[in-house]
Structure 1
């Protein structure tokens, strides 16, 4: 079984990989600004820096809830938190539309973690843009999560699917598949489950997480 240390290392690798682009853009913007005297070009550099800084901050907040312990929150997290994170991650891509259908005012921390990671998989699958639908509700002592990504071309790596379903060998785990492996572990610890279905124009991901305390938000 993959140790907690190994999984943490793989998640750190994924975090660093995803942060390279916005942080690199910040560095490039600063270099261009230092050498640029034209007012119009300097403004373009400042716009690039502002967007890159916003993207970096949004991704770090996302990782805090999706991978980390989400310090500062109790056992439940306001549903507005993941909504704002996903809105910020999709704000700069006009090709992607976010549809939010979470009926609860708050969700258990494990459910928030699963929801964000599944939503991230949905976003990654929309290579030509499309719609990301995010839904969750608590009923009969469990949190049910449903993510649907639809568009002209929806791509889903089968290796990630194997990690979600527990069919990936430990030696095959990587930074790319670590989030899916973590989701499977989280759902199993909650005595729940995760599933997915993929076609050329849609990816549907779902999870059920029983609430050990039977708390309904």
Structure 2
């Protein structure tokens, strides 16, 4: 049983809410592609329309590839994933968004896929903590043994996402919905991986940590 009292969603509800989250993430760039095609059909602003289509298609592709690793099966049950794939997905995501610089350090390794999913979901939690953009430093320590993931963010209007704190501390009072499912999934993955989640906030940075729980 999960240690956290907020981790109560059934399998079907979890799947449905995660699907809603993925659809929410890709509907904007897909809609922009459609808008660009309509402009082409009208014969107005061909150059601008093509730029919009190219940019939006890239954004949609990046988001779908990220979602496949962060939320999808990505192989058979119990499969392992190269952390290099996670690094590329995170950096491509930030490049497509054009507002945050990502640095990544630590050994490259093949680790259980749920730990890679946890890392990418913690990336999304941290990313949402700098809505105006900024800098994000990701460090992997001992990924193949006593894994420890450290993500530090710096930027304007920094914040620790409230829903993440409530779910991580077991104090969420309302039902999980499509807006809070991503931090919920992050906490669930940490529980499944036997890793503890903590965060440290100061005036100039916020650090999110996932580390192997003490035996």
TM-score by length of structure 1 reads: 0.85
Distance in 2 between the 1:150 and 1:79 partners?
23
CA offsets, 1:163-200, max 9 Å, x none? 1233224x421112112222222222232211223345
Distance in 2 between the 1:44 and 1:208 partners?
46
CA offsets, 1:15-74, max 9 Å, x none? 11111211111111111111125xxx3122111111111111111111111111112797
Tell me: CA distance 1:105–1:24, structure 2 relative to 1, closer, same or farther (3 Å). Answer: same
Distance in 2 between the 1:49 and 1:73 partners?
36
Look up the match of 2:111: 107
Distance in 1 between the 2:144 and 2:18 partners?
33
Distance in 2 between the 1:18 and 1:107 partners?
27
Bigger mean CA offset, 154-163 vs 79-88 = 154-163
Q: Does 1:57 align with 2:64?
A: no
| 1:1-217 alignment, distance < 5 Å | 1-37=8-44, 41-71=45-75, 75-138=79-142, 141-169=145-173, 171-199=174-202, 201-209=204-212
Tell me: CA distance 1:164–1:86, structure 2 relative to 1, closer, same or farther (3 Å). Answer: same
RMSD: 2.2
CA offsets, 1:101-139, max 9 Å, x none? 132333321111011011112222222221011111226
Distance in 2 between the 1:82 and 1:10 partners?
23
SS state at 2:105 partner? strand
Tell me: CA distance 1:128–1:7, structure 2 relative to 1, closer, same or farther (3 Å). Answer: same
Residue 82 (structure 1) shift: 1.1
SS state at 2:199 partner? strand
Size of the aligned set, in residue pairs, is: 206
Unaligned runs of 5+ in 1: 211-217
Unaligned runs of 5+ in 2: 1-7
Contact kept, 8 Å, 1:153 with 1:200, in 2: the verdict is: no
Distance in 2 between the 1:7 and 1:199 partners?
33
Look up the match of 2:4: none
Tell me: CA distance 1:62–1:35, structure 2 relative to 1, closer, same or farther (3 Å). Answer: same
